[in-house]
A and B are shown apart, each in its own frame.
Chain A
Amino acid sequence: MEINGQLALTVLMGVFLVAVAAWLTRVENWRSYTPLASGGGAYGQESGHAHEKPGGLIRWFTTVDHKDIGMLYGLYGVIAFLVGGAMVMIMRVELADPGMTLISNTFYNSLLTSHGITMLFLFGTPIIAAFSNYFIPLVIGADDMAFPRINAIAFWLLPPAALLIWAGFLIPTGDIIPAQTAWTMYTPLSAGVGNGNQANAGVDLMLLGLHLSGVSATMGSINFIATIFTERAEEVTWANLDIFSWTILTQSGLILFAFPLLGSAMVMLLADRNFGTVFFAGEGGAILWQHLFWFFGHPEVYILVLPPMGIVSYVLPRFSGRRLFGFKFVVYSTLAIGVLSFGVWAHHMFATGIDPRLRASFMAVSMAIAIPSAVKTFNWITTMWNGRIRLTTPMLFCIGFVSNFIIGGVTGVFLASIPIDLVLHDTYYVVGHFHYIVMGAIAFAGFAGLYYWYPIFTGRMYQRKLGKWHFWLWMVGTNITFFAMILLGYGGMPRRYATYLPQFITLHQIATLGALLLLVGGFIWLYNFIISWLEGPVIESGDPWNLKEDGLYTAEWEWFDRKLQTKITDGGEQQDVATDGGHESDESDS
């Protein structure tokens, strides 16, 4: 066993070194262009066709072009989504039956932990970074990100982070097993004390991986703050900054204050585990971890939800035939959420027996933070009200976002009320609440963005009908799955268990059924995106959504239009004006 583990680690290290070596062979190349130039050999922006160009793969390893990096983030996020989705499907099937049937309880706990961490840190943050990297420089009229190479480094920290987080699954030995701490990593369990199996190195690797992903997010956030402050085109004043950039700016501020704290807390935890320190061991140690974790953890949920709100605020008006209602309300309320999200963390700790005076204060601020969220919801609804609505797939996902966000938000406000939380804490109600937001809202907005900008990043159009199938399967599936969870919570079903009392069987089976709908919808989406990328109708105008008609045509489409024009005039491959991230690139595989 011992030997096996070391062998596996050696192989892992070897693969890593080979990758580094491959990258270094390009070293001359990356010396020869300035940071503002786009990535070495970065002609065209299609992924997946790299084999058509010699050296194509190397291009993806060396690129510093914000659009290429956006594509890499997107690919990464999608892969993580598929992995996290597969994990939860196994869990949901196990839960179709009250006993321990398909998998062991410990394996269930491993999947639970990895599902949560994968979805939040390896899907959520990266898929947002995909959009922000690709589009923010285009929309604010910047040549590229302020620090293109830091941008590339931030991305390339993520694959090793994923390997570390999944190491317990990837290295099948007795002493490296997957973490079973849940994403909250509460001590003393995560400190590895007692007779459990959480002292194993798999947990340490997971913590290191999570730390690495935090470093990546922090580097990215600094880059976005610098870019939005200093690289805007002259016309893009603060009054002209688009809503998506505002949400990314706010998100970056949150990351800057939240992630380093998580990093420090995890270093303390690692020290407790490996070097005999006692940060979280003594009296109050467990509550200390919870304070540190949730001071990061609550801002984290807004780190994940603000940019999707930005995407919806950006896309939804374009299919309502009018501008966003109360644009500045949305901007200011985004900023308000940013500040207040640091003042509510202990609403996750109401049931721990902290001082009632403190609890009351956290409740008050939690009530206050619901206002800006509600304001946004009213703005979206008012934008659509009497508008000329076009129910395209991205629009459907935006409407789904609003609908699901309302349910997620209202259940959240209930949880923020101490007496209610004392009843519902640690039940499936909480799971239902936050999944309405993370799946029903964040993922929906992500997919709205993927559909809306699909013509830009692939040059083609997806199949409309499959898009609608995807949406409806997901809308129905999400509501079946997570509403059943809310009811389960009312019934007293505790969260984080692989088995349950027979009285909960019906609702659990309903939830599993809903999850299967989500799975089918996901397959349809994957098929649609791949097949359309390969053979969908080629986009010929820079305005595939007819935005000009309503005077809602924006900068990234205008850039796309220019790109299409260039392609027509010089017909393809060779580009010599590759001096910025904004104007070069042709269509590939055409």
Chain B
Amino acid sequence: MAAKIFDKETILDLTVNIIPLGIIGFFVVVFAVYDPFGYDPLASAISFGLLLVPLVALAALTYISGKAIAGDEKRSEVFLAGQATVPGSQTLEEYEAQAEPDHEPAELTDDESAEDAETEPTAQNTDD
């Protein structure tokens, strides 16, 4: 189960949280090896606790939320955020299929014309 949910795609999504975990891990090692302020049973214990508790908590939450989100992605249809209940909205797959192929060309040509059109009315009171 877990093996299937945490595929390459999901791990990639989770890198955002793996980086802070890495930073905290880095400091754990630095403070253990370099130890600039000397050792004191109480203060050193608290100081490592202050690193390890967030580390463990973040790892746990990342795992749980990754499992929930990636699991639901596999179990059911995915829509763009906020659109799941809108009748007739595209699924994420359809959206991507439509957006990606003509991605580059469409964007480049559309761009400038879009700019000056858009700063103007189209946006706001189109229907007044």
Contact = CB atoms under 8 A, between A and B. Distances in A.
B50 to A, nearest CB: 4
Given A323-B80, A332-B13, A339-B57, A369 B119 contact: no
Interface string A322-345: 111001110111011011101100
Nearest to A363: B27
Please indicate which of the listed interface residues B54, B90, B108 has the most CB atoms of chain A within 10 Å of its own CB.
B54
A21 to B, nearest CB: 42
B117 to A, nearest CB: 9
A250 to B, nearest CB: 10
A394 to B, nearest CB: 9
A316 B73 CA distance: 24
Nearest to B40: A357
B3 interface: no
B37 A360 contact: yes
Nearest to A240: B84
A235 B123 contact: no
Given A340-B20, A365-B51, A368-B20, A328 B124 contact: no
A547 to B, nearest CB: 10
Contacts of A355: 37, 40, 43, 46-47
Contact of B82 (A242, A372, A541): A242
Contact of A239 (B37, B73, B83): B73
A237 B98 CA distance: 23
A544 B83 contact: no
Contacts of A541: 127
B47 A555 contact: no
A388 interface: yes
A537 interface: yes
Interface residues of B, number: 68
Contact of B85 (A236, A328, A335, A339): A236
Interface in B90-113: 90, 95, 98-99, 107-108, 110-111
A361 B47 contact: yes
Given A357-B47, A388-B111, A555-B86, A238 B99 contact: no
Contacts of B78: 237, 239-240
Contacts of A369: 20
A558 B111 contact: no
A364 interface: yes
Contacts of B62: 332, 335-336
B114 A364 contact: no
A109 B51 CA distance: 37
Nearest to A318: B82
Q: Is the interface of A mostly helix, strand, loop or mixed?
A: helix
A239 B82 CA distance: 11
Contacts of B124: 392-393, 461, 464, 544-545
Nearest to A244: B82
B126 to A, nearest CB: 6
A233 interface: yes
Contacts of A242: 81-82
Interface in A366-413: 367-369, 371-372, 375, 386, 388-393, 395
State the main secondary structure of chain B at its contact with A.
Answer: helix
A133 to B, nearest CB: 17
Contacts, number: 210
Interface residues of A, number: 73
Given A392-B124, A558-B87, A240 B79 contact: yes
Contacts of A361: 27, 31, 46-48, 50-51
Interface string A200-235: 000000000000000000000000000000000101
A558 B85 contact: yes
A339 B66 CA distance: 15
Interface in A341-361: 342-343, 355-358, 360-361
A529 interface: no
A372 B84 contact: no
A358 B72 CA distance: 40
A319 interface: yes
Instruction: Give the most central of B50, B82, B99: most A CB within 10 Å.
Output: B82
7 contacts: A238-B65, A336-B20, A343-B53, A358-B43, A368-B20, A368-B23, A546-B122
Interface of A: 139-141, 233, 235-244, 314, 319, 321-324, 327-329, 331-333, 335-336, 338-340, 342-343, 355-358, 360-362, 364-365, 367-369, 371-372, 375, 386, 388-393, 395, 461, 464, 537-541, 544-546, 551-556, 558
| A-B pairs, 4 with minimum CB distance | A537-B128, A343-B54, A364-B27, A554-B82
Given A336-B16, A393-B124, A545-B123, 5 more contacts: A356-B36, A360-B27, A361-B47, A386-B108, A537-B125
Interface of B: 13-14, 16-17, 19-21, 23-24, 27, 31, 36-37, 40, 43-44, 46-48, 50-51, 53-54, 57-58, 61-62, 65-66, 68-73, 75-87, 89-90, 95, 98-99, 107-108, 110-111, 114-115, 118-119, 122-128
